[in-house]
Structure 1
Amino acid sequence: MARHPRNKTIQFHACEALGGLAADKTSREAILRSEGIERLLKVLTEHKRDVSIQVAGYQALNVLTEDPSILSKFEILQIAETVLYALKMHPRGAGVQEHGFSVLINLADFPDVKTMIVRDGGIERIIATMKLHPTSCQIQCHGCTVLKNVAISINKKRTIIHSGGVAVVVAALTNFPADVDIQIACYDLFRTVLDQQDSHELSEEIVKVFTMTMKNHQQDAEVLRQAFEAMVHLPQTMENRQLLGQAGVATTVATAVTAHPSHRTLRWFGERLVNQICSYHEVQSVSTV
């Protein structure tokens, strides 16, 4: 990589090779000792317009950052800065976005990285990227996870909501009804931000996708738990509770809970959700919960 900085073919294959070599912690540490991160970041910077190199480079970075504990703070911030620049520069590059999001997820435990993400319209950019790539399962899933990781304050949650984050999540749940990872990531984001929602415009759509999730994933307790917990965090207005009741959600929840009698957490959230609905709307057939 150092000897042939301008040869794009060599740089591309070198990035691929680094990703392949970083299969375990020992190998990753050896790459770090050889200044592999610095060289990789330099390649990504020097070939910032080459999408193929960007994809291969961030794919390698995704592997190299799987265990960020072996990285220095300086390296982590350098990586985050380089990734965010690439995401901004290649909004239509699905591969760049997908692997770039993955790297940010790996670095999610570092507060400085979260600050860098939300700085300069980062939340809005992530949501815009998800809108731009509605058919990319990985971008939708990783985008939800990145947004959830940065939703660390009321203001950040409101930014996600007012930037169209709820609509993007509803679209992802609708477009990928059978994908377990999408369902879990979307409802995890819902759970994080919905309690701050001050608009009820999308409530009917949320109820529709929630009902669809329960029907499609009756046998998956984890998906159901995430969905129940998210709906419990829905703003507890009379309108929302009545909407849930009118849609027959309580009966559907009862059926789902009955299918998993030994899952106590699922049962607890199911009972809580049904109680919230029933406090405002008379619903039949909920005694099984």
Structure 2
Amino acid sequence: MDQGHGTPGFHSTLRRKLTSLVSRTGNHSRKNRTPHGSDAPDVIAHLSLDIAKWQSMDFLAMLLLVEQLREMTEIDRFDSKERRGQAGLAVKPLIEILTFAYSDQIGQETRGSGASDSNEKGSSTSSAKVTPATDPTLVTVVIQVLLCLRYITKGDAANIEAATSHGAAQVCKNIMVKYSANSLIQRNCYMVFRSLTFNRADNQRYIVQQLDVVPLVCRSMTRFAENTSLQASAFMFIQNITWLVEENRQIVELEGGIALILTAMKNKPESLEIQKWGCGALQNLACNIECTVKLIRTGVLEVVLKAMTAFPRDCIVQNYGLGVMRNLSFMKDHRLEVAKTGAIGLALRAMRNHPSSLEVQSSACSFIFNVIIEVDANRLLLLQSPEALDLFFDSMAHHSDDTRFVEKCNYLLDQLASGNPHSCYVAPELSVEPYSLLELAARQLARERKTMAGIAVGFLPSVFKMVESAKECPECTQQYVSNYAVAIKSKPVCWTLTRVCSRRCVGTMTRRCVEQYGDIASLQVAQDGAVAGLLA
């Protein structure tokens, strides 16, 4: 590198720092696992300042700096926000480099009169324009710059604003047109667009409605149909541009985006990335009524349920898949059809598998809330699951600090209410007469006794282990193993949940609550487990 882009001795110092930091990263001991060390932000700031002088430096030297900056900002770390903040100085020069790459002038501009004597040999060929045909390294530069710009703007509002003001979106579209045959460049352009549209409705609207990028993306998806990474990145792009802008959903549908997403998901059922981000894109598209009708007609239910079934432990697939079901169930005409697919059971399974994920719990409750509204058949279908009520109350207890989620669960429970002030749920077997959950628990226990009659005692859980986890009943102060859950609501107060040891205590608490609250009270009683109840 010449000495025209930095103070004397700076590059040797920078090189020593980088060498030291990289070698430190290569040490896999627990003590030295902090990537790139504590002085990384300072190094990033110097790299960014140096890249700003790209027009006067050697072509390969510029590439090296861009690669180094990309390496130090691409991975999410505890200090990623600080790193990306320091890298903001490089946003403008990176966009300038892409602009010159698009105009085929990068060879002349980077090897012109600003180069030092030490680079005369490299500048001797600067009379000819550098194009992909004459110098394939230009393609590498474009890829590295796109990657760098993508990571610098990832979730950083200030850098997104800087990139927006310097015309990054228009430049990326130009690059997409110029390098339409290069799948890696196409993919990285999508990811830059994705960063630019994060929580920015103005950019979502501009990129889709003014730059008209969606047809380019759809053509590229068709051209590289077997490229899993490109398809997944396109889905991420579609997910972001359809997040806040209703018109964009219709544009994606009109350009054939829905068909492309569903086809890719059907063709690559084993790809987690395809299924994950495909569900993410479909979730937003299903917010539009026209899109919803087409999604139902083209078999979206089967595709999404297969994805959720194939990847039950991936919370993102479950969250986005439930989001699709939630939005499809917004229209009453679709609720029966959605429920018939087994989606309610999958929602409960997702709640059971991901108890700590607020996103999964919230999406599941939102979907169930939508699908049971004004559809008694779906409500009864939900109540046929013996674990449904426990899952709702456990989820509320686990995420009690999130008031919006707790309120959502309360709305869901109210939807299940039968109207009887002392019994909010109906027996699944008899949909006419309402029963208290105390009676349902007794019925379940009776059925379990009949079922368990011929089974060896060894099948039952260890009494000694259960006693170790025994708790004190708040009603009778006795130690208990099995218990009943009593949910009480004095309208409009939120539900509260108390666990007691026996039906006798349940009856006492119920009578006291009725006396205290009268007809404005709603009570629910649920057994905590049929097997445990046998030991009571």
Structure 1 and Structure 2 fold alike (TM over 0.5): yes
Kindly state the Cα deviation for residue 70 of structure 1 after the two structures are TM-superposed.
5.3
Residue 69 of structure 1: CA displacement? 4.1
Structure 1: gaps (5+ residues): 259-263, 272-280
Across the aligned residues of Structure 1 and Structure 2, the Cα RMSD in angstroms comes to: 3.1
Pair 1:244–1:31, CA change in 2 (3 A): farther
CA distance in structure 1 between the aligned counterparts of 2:206 and 2:393, rounded to whole angstroms: 50
Partner residue of 2:355?
Answer: 177
2:329, 2:370 within 8 Å by CA — same for their partners in 1?
yes
Q: Scaled by the length of structure 1, what TM-score is found?
A: 0.78
Could you tell me whether the CA contact under 8 Å between 2:187 and 2:229 is conserved in 1?
A: yes
Determine the C-alpha separation between the residues in 2 that align with 1:190 and 1:199.
11
Counterpart of 2:226?
49
Other-structure match for 1:112:
290
Output one character per residue of 1:144-175: Cα deviation in whole Å (capped at 9) or x when no partner. 12112112455522222221111111111111
Q: Mapping of 1:213-228 within 5 angstroms? A: 213-228=395-410
One-letter code aligned to 2:407: R
2:246–2:288 contact (8 Å) kept in structure 1: no
Q: Secondary structure at the match of 1:238?
A: coil
Q: Is the 8 A contact 1:105 1:145 kept in 2?
A: yes
Which residue among 130, 138, 147 is the counterpart of 2:325?
147
Q: Is the 8 Å Cα contact of residues 81 and 116 (structure 1) preserved in structure 2?
A: no
What's the counterpart of residue 86 of structure 1?
264
**How far apart, CA to CA, are the structure 2 residues paired with 1:200 and 1:41?**
40
User: 1:16 — aligned with what?
Assistant: 191
Larger radius of gyration: 2
Q: 1:85 to 1:202 in 2, by over 3 A?
A: same
Q: CA distance change for structure 1 residues 5 and 204 in 2, over 3 Å: closer, same or farther?
A: same
Instruction: List aligned pairs for 1:254-269, cutoff 5 A.
Output: 254=488, 267=493
For 2:426, the aligned partner's letter is T
Which structure has greater helix proportion? 1
Deviation at 1:26, TM superposition (A): 4.3
* Contact in 1 for aligned 2:250/2:290 (Cα 8 Å): no
Structure 1: distance between partners of 2:300 and 2:396? 32
Query: 1:5–1:11: 8 Å Cα contact kept in structure 2?
Result: yes
Structure 1 window deviating more from structure 2 (220-229 vs 50-59): it is 220-229
What is the CA–CA distance in structure 2 between the aligned matches of 1:72 and 1:187, rounded to whole Å?
Answer: 25
Q: Quick check: 1:196 aligned with 2:377?
A: yes
Shift of 1:95: 2.3
Q: For the residues of structure 1 that align with 2:231 and 2:242, how far apart are their CA atoms?
A: 16
Aligned to 2:388: 206
State the AA in 1 paired with 2:385: S
What letter matches 2:269 in structure 1?
Answer: P
Question: Of the two structures, which has the highest relative contact order with CA contacts closer than 8 Å and spacing of 6 or more?
Answer: 1
Q: Deviations along 1:58-101, whole A, 9 cap, x unmatched?
A: 11222222332453844443233332333333333222233223
Paired residue for 2:158?
Answer: none
Residue 125 of structure 1: how far off its partner (Å): 2.3
Letter in 2 for 1:207: L
Q: 1:241 to 1:104 in 2, by over 3 A?
A: farther
CA contact (8 A) 2:250 2:291 kept: no
The alignment status of 1:67 with 2:244, answered yes or no, reads yes
Instruction: Check 1:221–1:14 CA distance in 2 against 1; reply closer, same or farther (3 A cut).
Output: closer
Per-residue CA shift, 1:242-271, capped at 9, x if unaligned?
44674734x3x33xx69xxxxx86x26x39
> Normalized against structure 2, the TM-score is what?
0.45
Q: Secondary structure at the match of 2:386?
A: helix
Structure 1 Cα separation of the partners of residues 324 and 508 of structure 2:
37
- 1:238 aligns to what? 427
**How much does 1:55 deviate?**
1.4
Given the superposition, is the C-alpha separation of residues 244 and 151 from structure 1 closer, same or farther in structure 2, using an over 3 Å criterion?
farther
The equivalent position to 1:248 in structure 2, one of 458, 479, 484, is 484
Overall identity of the aligned pairs, in %: 17
> By how many angstroms is 1:110 displaced?
2.1
* Mapped partners of 1:244, 1:223: distance in 2: 27
CA distance in structure 2 between the partners assigned to 1:183 and 1:134 by the alignment = 14
Task: Report the residue type matching 1:44 in the other structure.
Answer: M
Change (3 A) 1:16 1:218: closer
**Contact 1:248-1:283 within 8 A present in 2 as well:** no
Q: Higher strand fraction: Structure 1 or Structure 2? A: 2
122-131 or 77-86, larger mean C-alpha shift: 77-86
Counterpart secondary structure, 2:177: coil
- Tell me if structure 2 keeps the 8 A contact 1:68–1:107: no
CA distance in 1, matches of 2:361, 2:437: 22
- Identify the range of structure 1 (161-170 vs 63-72) with the bigger mean alpha-carbon deviation: 63-72
Q: Which letter maps to 1:97?
A: Q
Q: 1:26 to 1:164 in 2, by over 3 A?
A: closer
Q: Distance in 2 between matches of 1:211 and 1:49?
A: 45
